């Protein structure tokens, strides 16, 4: 089978609305566009970005949106909203590709396939080799964040688990240290890791800097994919020590060879010539898509990670219109894959080889090569080991997408059950918005309120809010609920009242939720009713979740603020399951915030720099000795007094301040 890389068909849209539906300035801007490559952005009347696209010929491409009637399709709906456009002329299509996807990631347009930013990828970090102390014995560690040139980084890895497995491997085979410098510098005897043969004990001088440096070099070469060469050198050194009758050193090397041999057997890296490869498999079904990314680094398969883009349905309709009813699924897979490659590798280093389940646009690969400075190639229809990797990735993509669709189907069923159970006036289930409040404190200390949001059939963690409750009697949950509801809805209620009088709602104004859940019974609901009456808001929005007999899960009852009788939905009710899910999330979010605030008060209330007699130098010595404020707090007065410059009286003062 041959390697095939094809051009993605240009999505020549065939849908826009009549010219008369758009502002004259917009139509004038479209008419004056140059016939040059570039990127265009569409905005609605409120200034929200609708769509970002690229074109070889800006004038021809953008004009096509406004020269045809797209009817009531999604794209037609988008075009009818366009009030303004912006364009940027670039030098080439490759440059346009990069700019387009930078803008998509930055602006989050409504009608583009978008892969949301995940947390950064983790790396395995080996600290820089130095000339003294702990610097002579670099440590291996899990790392996530910006890289520093002086240290060595290996990866990225698809998950934290993969990094931790690699660290465990470094301990088993090469016995590199993992402890932090403050711990290393204050050891007087080896730790448990030395006893179980996971560390060579450099903290207490059980290995020389030269021998440790050799192990470190072997580890780095192994991570770079030179495992066979490392194995041969270890065997040669083992034989050399045996010939010199240095059997203890030979036995140590024998154990290393055995551990490394076992790893190589488990990893199945025999006959693999690829060092760094990403395997990308796409599956599209039911209006959703999954891209499964599997990573091979240093010839070792490190694992995979699924990605689920949003706005796929809009792209599907656009592609179907462009293809005239042809093979829509295949072309959409190509489009999803191109979007992933263009957006993912903006911030993540691209390997020189990609193994893909669908053809990739040559211009995209060229743009990626120009950006990274490394020629990036994509192989479609691979053979041998690459084919095995791709089949694994395709299987995982199919399973992950099936799981997502099952979860979404279940969640949508719960949403529908709740809407029907409470008889909510809602035409579109996707638009149901629920906000839930909970109060948390410890005997009145560090009172916090949480507000969590359920929307589009799932919890929206980016919209969660915590409220620090002040100026109330400690432990007064009713006063806390009153304060959080006033703070949450007070300004919105004023805006809505002003809009009712003026007849115009300001741009960017939020909306009231369809349901306000309060974790509590009649008392909390009564307080919420008072707040809503004061603000002039609809009382029917408020529902309290009252715990059942014996506070047993599944026996909760719903209490209404507008006078309706309490409702028991039944322990097997899908609606109650959704209410419990939202309520439990509000409780979790409130209690984690309260605990963090409480810990800050207790641990940071006596910050070292606030203690009389502690200046920058003494503070630095304490932190270096104990590894942080928490370490100082865990130390005894006698331990603190052993630090240079700390007297017995000052040690007692520090201990009192931190306790």
Give the model confidence (pLDDT) of 486-506 as tens digits. Answer: 999 988 888 888 877 776 666
pLDDT in tens, 469-482: 888 887 888 999 99
pLDDT in tens, 249-265: 777 767 766 766 665 54
Please tell me the class of the 19-107 domain.
alpha beta
**Are the CB atoms for 148 and 350 separated by under 8 Å?**
no
Looking at the predicted structure, is the pLDDT value of residue 618 above 60?
A: yes
Q: What is the pLDDT of residue 73?
A: 65
* pLDDT grade for 266, boundaries at 50, 70 and 90: very low
Higher-confidence residue of 40 and 655: namely 40
Tokens of 601: 């008060």
Distance of CA 508 to the CA centre of its chain: 27
* pLDDT grade for 321, boundaries at 50, 70 and 90: very low
Q: Does domain 605-658 have CATH number 3.90.190.10?
A: no
pTM: 0.62
**Are the CB atoms for 527 and 539 separated by under 8 Å?**
no
Tokens of 615: 């200046």
Q: Phi and psi of 291, rounded to 5°?
A: -110, 120
Q: What is the pLDDT of residue 273?
A: 60
Going from N- to C-terminal start, the domains of the chain cover 19-107, 124-267, 444-590, 605-658
Strand positions, DSSP E, 180-287: 277-285
Q: What is the pLDDT of residue 322?
A: 39
- What is the spatial distance between Cα 448 and Cα 594, in angstroms, rounded to a whole number? 6
| Residue 77, strand partner residues | none
**Are the CB atoms for 282 and 333 separated by under 8 Å?**
yes
Higher-confidence residue of 93 and 208: namely 208
Q: Does domain 444-590 have CATH number 3.30.56.10?
A: no
Higher-confidence residue of 149 and 325: namely 149
User: Cα–Cα–Cα angle for 400, 404, 405, nearest 5°?
Assistant: 120
Query: Mean pLDDT lowest for which of 150-159, 423-432, 476-485, 500-509?
Result: 500-509
């Amino acid at each position: 089978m041959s390697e095939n890389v094809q051009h993605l068909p240009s999505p020549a849209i065939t849908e826009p609305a009549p010219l008369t539906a758009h502002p004259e300035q917009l139509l004038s801007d479209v008419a004056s566009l140059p016939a040059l490559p570039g990127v265009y952005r569409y905005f609605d009347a409120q200034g929200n970005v609708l769509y970002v696209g690229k074109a070889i010929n800006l004038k021809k491409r953008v004009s096509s949106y406004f020269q045809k009637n797209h009817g009531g399709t999604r794209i037609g709906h988008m075009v009818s909203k366009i009030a303004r456009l912006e364009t940027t002329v670039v030098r080439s299509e490759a440059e346009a590709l990069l700019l387009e996807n930078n803008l998509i990631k930055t602006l989050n347009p409504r009608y583009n396939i978008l892969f949301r930013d995940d947390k950064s990828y983790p790396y395995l970090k080996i600290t820089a080799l130095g000339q003294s102390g702990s610097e002579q014995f670099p440590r291996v560690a899990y790392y996530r964040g910006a890289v520093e040139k002086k240290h060595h980084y290996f990866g990225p890895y698809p998950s934290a688990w993969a990094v931790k497995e690699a660290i465990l491997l470094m301990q088993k085979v090469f016995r590199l240290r993992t402890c932090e410098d403050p711990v290393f510098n204050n050891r007087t005897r080896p730790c448990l890791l030395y006893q179980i043969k996971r560390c060579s004990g450099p903290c207490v001088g059980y290995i020389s800097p030269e021998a440790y440096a050799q192990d470190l070099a072997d580890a780095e070469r192994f991570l770079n994919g030179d495992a066979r060469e490392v194995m041969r050198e270890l065997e040669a050194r083992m034989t050399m020590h045996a010939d010199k009758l240095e059997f203890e050193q030979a036995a140590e090397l024998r154990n290393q060879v055995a551990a490394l041999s076992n790893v190589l057997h488990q990893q199945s890296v025999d006959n693999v010539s690829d060092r760094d490869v990403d395997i990308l498999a796409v599956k599209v079904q039911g209006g959703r898509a999954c891209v499964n990314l599997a990573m091979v680094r240093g010839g070792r398969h490190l694992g995979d990670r699924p990605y689920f883009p949003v706005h796929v349905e809009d792209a599907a309709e656009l592609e179907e219109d462009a293809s005239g009813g042809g093979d829509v699924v295949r072309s959409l897979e190509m489009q999803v894959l191109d979007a992933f490659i263009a957006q993912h590798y903006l911030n993540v280093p691209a390997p020189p080889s990609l193994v893909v389940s669908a053809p990739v646009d040559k211009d995209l690969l060229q743009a990626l090569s120009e950006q990274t400075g490394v020629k990036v190639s994509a192989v479609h229809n691979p053979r041998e080991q690459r084919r095995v990797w791709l089949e694994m990735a395709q299987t995982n993509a199919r399973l992950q997408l099936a799981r997502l669709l099952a979860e979404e189907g279940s969640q949508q069923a719960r949403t529908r059950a709740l809407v029907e159970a409470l008889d909510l006036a809602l035409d579109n289930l996707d638009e149901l918005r629920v906000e839930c409040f909970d109060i948390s404190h410890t005997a009145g200390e560090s009172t916090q309120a949480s507000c969590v949001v359920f929307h589009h059939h799932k919890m929206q963690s980016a919209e969660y809010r915590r409220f620090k409750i002040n100026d109330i009697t400690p432990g007064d949950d009713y006063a806390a609920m009153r304060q959080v509801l006033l703070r949450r809805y007070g300004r919105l209620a004023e805006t809505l009242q002003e809009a009712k009088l003026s007849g115009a709602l300001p741009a960017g104004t939020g909306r009231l939720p369809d349901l306000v859940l309060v974790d509590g019974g009649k008392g909390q609901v009564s307080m919420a009713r008072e707040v809503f009456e004061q603000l002039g808001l609809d009382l029917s929005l408020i529902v309290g979740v009252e715990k059942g007999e014996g506070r047993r899960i599944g026996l909760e009852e719903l209490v209404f603020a507008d006078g309706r009788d309490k409702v028991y939905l039944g322990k097997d009710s899908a609606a109650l399951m959704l209410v419990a899910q939202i309520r439990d999330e509000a409780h979790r979010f409130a209690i984690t915030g309260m605990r963090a605030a409480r810990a800050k008060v207790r641990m940071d209330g006596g910050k070292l720099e606030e203690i009389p007699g502690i200046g920058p130098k003494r503070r630095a010595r304490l932190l270096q000795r104990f590894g942080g404020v928490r370490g100082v707090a865990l130390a005894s007065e006698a331990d603190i007094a052993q630090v240079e410059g700390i007297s017995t009286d000052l040690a007692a003062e520090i201990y009192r301040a931190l306790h």
